[in-house]
Structure 1
Amino acid sequence: MLIRLLNKEKVLVLDSSAFIMGLEPLQLDLKLFTTPEVVEELSSYWVQLKYSTAIYLKKLNVVSPTKDFLDEAKKVSEKTGDKLKLSRADLSILALALELKSKGFKPIIISDDFSVQNVAEHLKIDYTYLSGKGIKNQIEWIWYCPGCGRKFLSINFGENCPVCGLKLKRKASKKISLRKNFG
């Protein structure tokens, strides 16, 4: 069950990249959330020590999103064409941010993953990143087969063309330039 916070309070939802890039949870004044799937991705001793300390001090909340919000995140990632680019951990933070938003909070996802940022943009969830640059365009991808030329809006059947068996590729079918930049 989610911890009750004051409505409209900003909260951070952390991807593994936030920990890997050196985010210091103990130095932030906001409530921090992540998911068990993200915790599973953290392998460095120092990163594990950092997040374990934050959990112990009740600075970091590890929460599993409910199935309804996971289903919504999957549905939108399929619509955008990002589904195959997202890990279980990626989908879990998107779902958790959606769930927090539905409770009246203002989640901000911290992730350097362009696919996470793209789906967050489609979900109207704020995001930021710690290294490099964030996305410049909101994109809807279309999957296509480089062999037979068929195009697919969704890829529920896997990474290979159901007709000729070649690995599918993707290209942008729609781009919307973003004016905002949270980073």
Structure 2
Amino acid sequence: MKVLDTSGILRSDLDFSRNKYIITNSVLSELLDESARVAVEAALKSKSIILAEPREDFLKKVKEAAVKTGDISEMSSTDLDILAVALERNLVIISDDYRVQNVASALGIEFETTIHEGIKHKLKWFKVCEGCGRRYPMESDLCEICGSRLKKRAMKL
């Protein structure tokens, strides 16, 4: 059984009849593509896809990991949901989202991609002042010292 991200559904030709998958309600609500939605709804009826919601304690662990990697500000609630479900059930995630892959890697969750190559390294994201070079967490926008804008940077872990 594997957990599907929205990108894992939209960018793939997965055969839902061959394997069992899990999605969250938030993934289902992101499916605006009519053909993908019809395929997923048929798979839900045949129980090839199962709906699951994350427990709060696992969501908290995922959010803590996303803060540590610096990915939290760029992640949707759907991203956090699928990571929490995968962590709770010890399942593989199918996603082409690099931030999902980075946090999954930090949590020891295996992931697979559909069309893109997965991440090669774990990353920690931070911001750097364009003026004085001081480092800041991802939540910051302006340098406290010189008032300059901050740029995103990543460091391999």
TM-score by length of 2: 0.89
8 Å Cα contact 1:90/1:116 also seen in 2: yes
* CA apart distance, 1:169: 2.6
Structure 1 unaligned residues grouped into runs of 5+: 1-10, 102-106, 177-183
* Residue matched to 2:84: 95
The letter of the residue matching 1:112 is D
Deviations 1:26-48 (A, max 9, x none): 2323x211111111111011011
C-alpha distance in 2, partners of 1:134/1:147?
33
* CA apart distance, 1:112: 0.3
The aligned runs of 1:25-174 (5 Å cut-off) are 25-29=15-19, 31-101=20-90, 107-152=91-136, 154-155=137-138, 158=139, 160-161=141-142, 163=144, 164=147, 166=149, 168-173=150-155
Identity among equivalent pairs (%):
35
C-alpha distance in 2, partners of 1:165/1:57?
55
Structure 2 unaligned residues grouped into runs of 5+: none
2:133 partner SS:
coil
Count of aligned positions:
155
* CA apart distance, 1:172: 2.1
* CA apart distance, 1:99: 0.9
Deviations 1:18-63 (A, max 9, x none): 110133342323x211111111111011011011001111111111
* CA apart distance, 1:126: 0.6
CA pair 124-148 structure 1, distance change in 2 beyond 3 A: same
1:137 partner SS:
coil
Deviations 1:72-110 (A, max 9, x none): 111101101111221111111111111112xxxxx1100
Among residues 9, 15, 39, which one is paired with 1:19 in the alignment?
A: 9
8 Å Cα contact 2:95/2:101 also seen in 1: yes
1:79 partner SS:
helix
8 Å Cα contact 1:25/1:60 also seen in 2: no
TM-score by length of 1: 0.77
